[in-house]
Amino acid sequence: MCAGLAACNVQLHDETPARYEANNGAALYQLQASITRPLLVAPDSVFVSALVDDHLVRLEPDASLLKWHGLYSVRCHAGFSLQYRAIWSVQSLTTRSTELPPRPRTVQLTEPPPAQSVRIDTSGGRTKTWSGVIHYQFITAPRTTITALRIEPLGGAAADAATAAPIKVQSQTPLTADCGAPLDVRLESSAQRAAAYLVLETTNPGVPRWRTRVEFGP
């Protein structure tokens, strides 16, 4: 019936990216695979599925019956395990299957970049101090704690240190929020114009340390 194994075997091709940037909306991630099918295997005899975190996800073919796709939803994790399986029949006589990769691989979900720069408006009248809030949100861990907060100058010059000196962190650490919940840091400046980096250290492996440029100004 088959001159060799290749004449009867379907080849699986894993086309899902190694990583996605995590999202906090639908939290759906595309699963993509394709097959190479020998002539002895009928197009409608092939079925492809994905094993994702021990969940079986049935994939749907496109019109060519060669490309397969599906969606998987996961929240508050830094990745998911993935393995594809194809099952097919050979001339309606025998059934075969194959898995790819041989062992599940991990698709990484990366934390979206937190706030990179924030401007706090100080134009609202004369006061002794000006305050503002920087909003953060973390979505690749069930819970994230900011363990440390500090102000650093924008550079090594004396002018940079002087510009940063008026800014103080008002929020007390640790600050903890569940996945997707807002986590706010309050700052205060004794000068109407000031600029510095706010440096965070967190328990989230996807963003253990982060630096946000903060500028106070009218």
- The residue ranges of DSSP E strands in the chain, in sequence order, are 11-14, 19-21, 28-36, 47-52, 55-58, 60-61, 67-73, 79-90, 94-110, 117-121, 130-136, 143-152, 167-169, 175-178, 183-189, 194-202, 209-217
pLDDT digits (tens, 9 = 90+) for 20-69: 999 988 899 999 999 999 888 889 999 999 999 989 999 999 999 999 99
Nearest residue to 200 via CA among 181, 174, 180 = 174
- What kind of architecture, by CATH, is found in domain 117-217? Sandwich (2.60)
* Two tokens, residue 188: 């205060």
State mean pLDDT over 2-7. 56
Does 13 have pLDDT greater than 90? Answer: yes
Model confidence pLDDT, tens digit, residues 108-166? 999 999 999 999 999 876 778 999 999 999 999 999 999 999 999 999 999 999 999 99
> Could you check whether 5-110 and 117-217 share the same CATH topology?
yes
5 within 8 A of 96, measured Cβ to Cβ: no
Q: Which CATH number does 5-110 carry?
A: 2.60.40.10
Task: List pLDDT tens digits, range 49-58.
Answer: 999 998 999 9
Q: Where are the domains of the chain?
A: 5-110, 117-217
Instruction: Give 75-94 pLDDT, tens digit per residue.
Output: 999 999 999 999 999 877 78
What is the pTM for the complete model shown?
Answer: 0.85
Helices (H), the chain: 158-164
Which pLDDT belongs to residue 172?
A: 96
Which residues lie below 8 Å from residue 76, measured CB to CB, with a gap of 6+?
139, 140, 141, 142, 179, 180
- Contact criterion met (CB below 8 Å) for 114 and 207: yes
